[in-house]
């Protein structure tokens, strides 16, 4: 199961990289970057998985025994990365909207041609 998650993360990263590199539409470039970001989240959560583990929240654990729990540190890092990623994507989309308003296009090639 872990191998499937790692391969899915690699495929998502590849699709996002392809979209970010080959597309000229700025919105599609931002979508590609978001896909690359999502692949990182999947990889982090896959690394936190332990076979037969439970959630790291226990109501009444036995004294001196925490049990087999999933790694909460990677889950916390992933939640923080999601919040940061949403903020960055929002900033990217705001920049795209301002460029579209100013240059009347979202084509990256035409925006470069309009410079100077």
- Write down the pLDDT at residue 8: 95
Helix (H) or strand (E) holding 23: none
28-75: pLDDT as tens digits: 999 999 999 999 999 988 888 877 777 777 666 666 566 677 778 888
Q: Which domains does the chain have, with CATH numbers?
A: 2-51+70-113 (1.10.287.3510)
- The band of 84, judged by pLDDT with boundaries at 50, 70 and 90, is very high
- Write down the pLDDT at residue 98: 93
For residue 29, the tally of other CB atoms under 10 A from its CB is: 20
Listed in order, strand segments (DSSP E) in the chain are none
Residue 14 clears pLDDT 70, i.e. is over it? yes
Coil, helix or strand for 25?
A: strand
Residue 116 clears pLDDT 60, i.e. is over it? no
Residue 107 has what DSSP assignment? B
What global pTM score does this model have? 0.81
For residue 19, the tally of other CB atoms under 10 A from its CB is: 19
């Amino acid at each position: 199961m872990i191998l499937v998650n790692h391969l899915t993360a690699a495929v998502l990263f590849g699709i996002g990289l392809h979209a970010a590199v080959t597309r000229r539409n700025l919105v599609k470039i931002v979508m590609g970057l978001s896909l690359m970001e999502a692949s990182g989240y999947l990889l982090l959560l896959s690394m936190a998985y332990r076979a037969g583990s439970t959630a790291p929240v226990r109501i009444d654990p036995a004294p001196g025994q925490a049990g087999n729990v999933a790694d909460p540190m990677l889950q916390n890092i992933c939640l923080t990365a999601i919040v940061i990623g949403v903020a960055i994507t929002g900033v990217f989309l705001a920049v795209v909207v301002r460029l579209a308003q100013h240059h009347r296009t979202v084509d990256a090639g035409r925006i470069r041609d309009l410079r100077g």
